[in-house]
């Protein structure tokens, strides 16, 4: 199978999924096809250091560099989750040479959520 070259893409979407343990970054074209991705673990952070904002910035720089090589210049950033890497990942995209046209927060919010566990009887 041949690797496709994405050379004529200029605009893309950057999905940042931040949890309390890791940060996963996926950069896609406008149709949703993955162009580049990275995570804190892929940026060689292990254990508790994966959840830091510095690890998220390093992962964003790594994914951003890969996307710039494939021709992406402008990204719309969609952030999901409550981890520490929310703001740091945006900083990483800028240092990688990407221009940010939009920042959207799509963190899921429960409308009352699941039923809580029953009260504990001692």
Q: Where are the alpha helices (DSSP H) in 36-121?
A: 53-69, 86-96
Instruction: Name residue 104's beta-bridge partners.
Output: 78
41 neighbors 63 (Cβ within 8 angstroms):
no
83 neighbors 47 (Cβ within 8 angstroms):
no
Give the per-residue pLDDT at 5.
Answer: 59
Give the per-residue pLDDT at 6.
Answer: 53
Ranges of residues in the chain with a pLDDT under 50 are none
Give the per-residue pLDDT at 1.
Answer: 64
Give the per-residue pLDDT at 2.
Answer: 59
Domains and CATH numbers, the chain: 13-105 (3.30.420.80)
Give the per-residue pLDDT at 43.
Answer: 87
Give the per-residue pLDDT at 3.
Answer: 62
């Amino acid at each position: 199978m041949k690797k496709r070259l994405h050379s004529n893409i200029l605009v893309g979407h950057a999905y940042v999924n931040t949890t309390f343990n890791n940060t996963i970054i996926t950069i896609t074209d406008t149709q949703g096809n993955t162009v580049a991705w990275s995570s804190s673990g892929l940026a060689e952070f292990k254990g508790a250091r994966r959840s830091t904002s510095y690890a998220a910035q390093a992962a964003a720089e790594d994914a951003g560099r890969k996307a710039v090589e494939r021709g992406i210049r402008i990204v719309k950033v969609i952030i999901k989750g409550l981890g520490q890497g929310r703001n740091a990942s945006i900083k990483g995209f800028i240092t990688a040479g990407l221009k940010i046209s939009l920042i959207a927060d799509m963190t899921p919010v429960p409308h009352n959520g699941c039923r809580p566990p029953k009260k504990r009887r001692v």
